[in-house]
Amino acid sequence: MKVDVLLGLQWGDEGKGKIVDVLTPNYKVVARFQGGPNAGHTLEFENQKYVLRSIPSGIFQGGKINLIGNGVVIDPALFKGEIDALEASGHNLTDRLYISKKAHLIMPTHRLLDSASEVAKGDDKIGTTGKGIGPVYTDKISRNGLRVGDIFHNFEEKYQQATKRHKKMLDNCNFNYDNLAELEEEWFEGVEKLKTFKMIDSEQFVNDQIKQENSVLAEGAQGSLLDIDFGTYPFVTSSNTVCAGACTGLGISPHSIGEVFGIFKAYVTRVGSGPFPTELFDEVGKKMAVKGNEFGSVTGRPRRCGWIDLVALKYTIMVNGVTQLIMMKSDVLDEFETIKLCVAYNINGERTATFPFEVNEDITPEYVEMAGWQEDMTKMQSENEFPEEFNAFLSFLEEELEVPIKIVSVGPDRAQTIIR
Ligand code: GDP
Ligand code: IMO
Ligand code: MG
């Protein structure tokens, strides 16, 4: 049995949460492998809407085991908030949510350091989610981090040591941390909540599942263009969001990877700063934002919108070894007369179809235009109902990207999903 991986191919918010929920009935275990509460994964079904941050999106489909893997970073305070909200709506996860002992903990001071770093960068700020992601992964890599398993081993001492170090850093940049005591109170309550969950050696668990022929779906967060190595650095997140991240974030061998589901929107969005070659600043972009309800599920920030970028998509498909594509938010383009697809970049007079080292304002996208379908897709149930123009759009994408599009999403609800 292999582990299938589902990951975003753009700058995040592709609709990963929705599709993980849709696919969960096919699996025994759903496991998050990187990122933390910077993620916001939205699920809609039966007139209910949920936004998950650290908790995997496989919790609403029967008694599946959901796992927070070692590659994930957890903020106990936010985790408790998430769990409390789920419990209030009748979802008790105590017996079916497992947490890796090797997952790193986001401390209150990591959040403060995230803000301090953004302030220091000024106009060059990354536009992070402010959840302490950069600082916690920095501590992990520099071998200063606190892990979930540490909660039971001299925790107070380790916590104080790390906090002392962080305070020095905050002092160095004159960053005020008067609210730390308040943040700490919430945080330690969160640690108590964490303790009520099963903390495991998750790499053993996942490999045992593989051996026992139990199917596992690995759920990515963010998107490949935010990957620390392959994204539009430095405007990226601090983890490996690509497929290889599932190996390190769960402790599985590359041989254990089965299908790689690459998910993308029929257009592109981005939150925060950083280059975005096909970004639209006109009425068309505004129309996408309004129709697609493009506001961040974590920060509420408006998402920047633009036409689909096949140069970037080909690149992320390559880096991930995508075997199946999933196209989201097709319905958002329902009213457009023409649809543009970027097939190449022109950089200082040179045409390239290869994603360049430097993605910046020197890039002029080259577009192919296709006729829009101008038909409401939101109630469609099968591909037989697809308008002719939409089929042409799909065929063009499949030909260019050389990977089949197996799922088409036509609305936010679980039911608005067409499997081909
Ligand atoms: P994730 O981070 O990849 O899980 O994506 P988000 O949940 O942050 O953002 C996707 C947004 O689009 C959510 O508000 C979803 O409810 C919504 N959504 C997902 N699929 C579709 C779709 O096919 N059509 C429309 N209109 N909305 C969708
Ligand atoms: P999901 O899983 C969209 C972006 C931030 C910022 C950059 C770095 O919902 O797709 P960070 O807080 O990680 O240090 O911020 O990455 N970002 C996301 N954008 N979706 C996400 O997650 C994101 N997680 C981080 O906006 O530009
Ligand atoms: Mg999101």
Q: What is the pLDDT of residue 63?
A: 86
Q: Which burial class, exposed, middle or buried, applies to 34 when counting CB atoms under 10 A from its CB (0-12, 13-18, 19+)?
A: buried
Q: What is the pLDDT of residue 46?
A: 96
Of 7, 42, 294, which is best to mutate to test ligand 1, by the most ligand atoms within 8 angstroms of its C-beta?
42
Q: What is the pLDDT of residue 263?
A: 98
Is the C-beta atom of 80 inside 6 A of ligand 1? no
Of 139, 222, 264, 295, which is best to mutate to test ligand 2, by the most ligand atoms within 8 angstroms of its C-beta?
222
- Look at the block and give the residue holding tokens 């149930």: 381
- Look at the block and give the residue holding tokens 């949920």: 50
Q: Along the chain (420 residues), what's the average pLDDT of each consecutive run of 10 residues?
A: 97 98 98 98 97 97 95 98 97 96 98 98 95 98 98 96 98 97 98 98 98 98 98 98 98 98 98 96 96 85 95 98 98 98 97 96 96 98 98 98 98 98
Q: What is the pLDDT of residue 299?
A: 74
Q: What is the pLDDT of residue 191?
A: 98
Compute the distance from residue 268 Cα to the ligand 2 centre, in Å.
14
Q: How far apart are CA 277 and CA 259, in angstroms?
A: 30
Q: Whose CA is nearest to atom 25 of ligand 2?
A: 38
Q: Is the CB of residue 206 less than 8 Å from the CB of residue 31?
A: yes
Compute the distance from residue 130 Cα to the ligand 2 centre, in Å.
10
Q: Give the type of residue at 202.
A: S
Q: How far apart are CA 206 and CA 29, in angstroms?
A: 9
Q: Where in the sequence numbering do the catalytic residues fall?
A: 13, 41
* Bridge partner list, 161: none
Q: Is the CB of residue 243 less than 8 Å from the CB of residue 324?
A: no
Q: What is the pLDDT of residue 6?
A: 98
Please identify, by atom number, the ligand 1 atom nearest to the C-alpha of residue 328.
23
Compute the distance from residue 45 Cα to the ligand 1 centre, in Å.
12
**Ligand number with the minimum distance to the CA of 409:** 1
- Look at the block and give the residue holding tokens 């045409």: 351
Q: Is the CB of residue 403 less than 8 Å from the CB of residue 262?
A: yes
**Ligand number with the minimum distance to the CA of 128:** 2
User: pTM here?
Assistant: 0.97
Query: Parallel, antiparallel, or unpaired for β 350-352 and 338-347?
Result: antiparallel
Write a three-state SS string for the chain: CCEEEEEECCCCCCCHHHHHHHHHHHCCEEEECCECCCCCEEEEECCEEEEECCCCCCCCCCCCEEEECCCEEECHHHHHHHHHHHHHCCCCCCCCEEEECCCEECCHHHHHHHHHHHHHHHHHCCCCCCCCHHHHHHHHHCCCCCEHHHHHCCHHHHHHHHHHHHHHHHHHCCCCCCCHHHHHHHHHHHHHHHCCCEEECHHHHHHHHHHCCCCEEEECCCCHHHCCCCCCCCCCCCCCCCCHHHHHHHCCCHHHEEEEEEEEECCEEECCCCCCCCECCCHHHHHHHHHCCCECCCCCCECEEECEEHHHHHHHHHHHCCCEEEEECHHHHCCCCEEEEEEEEEECCEEECCCCCCCCCCEEEEEEEEECCCCCCCCCCCHHHCCHHHHHHHHHHHHHHCCCEEEEECCCECCCEEEC
Q: Is the CB of residue 117 less than 8 Å from the CB of residue 172?
A: no
Q: What is the pLDDT of residue 297?
A: 73
What residues have their beta carbon closer than 5 A to ion ligand 3?
13, 40, 297
**Cα dist. 79→56, 84, 142, 220, 403 in Å?**
12, 9, 24, 18, 37
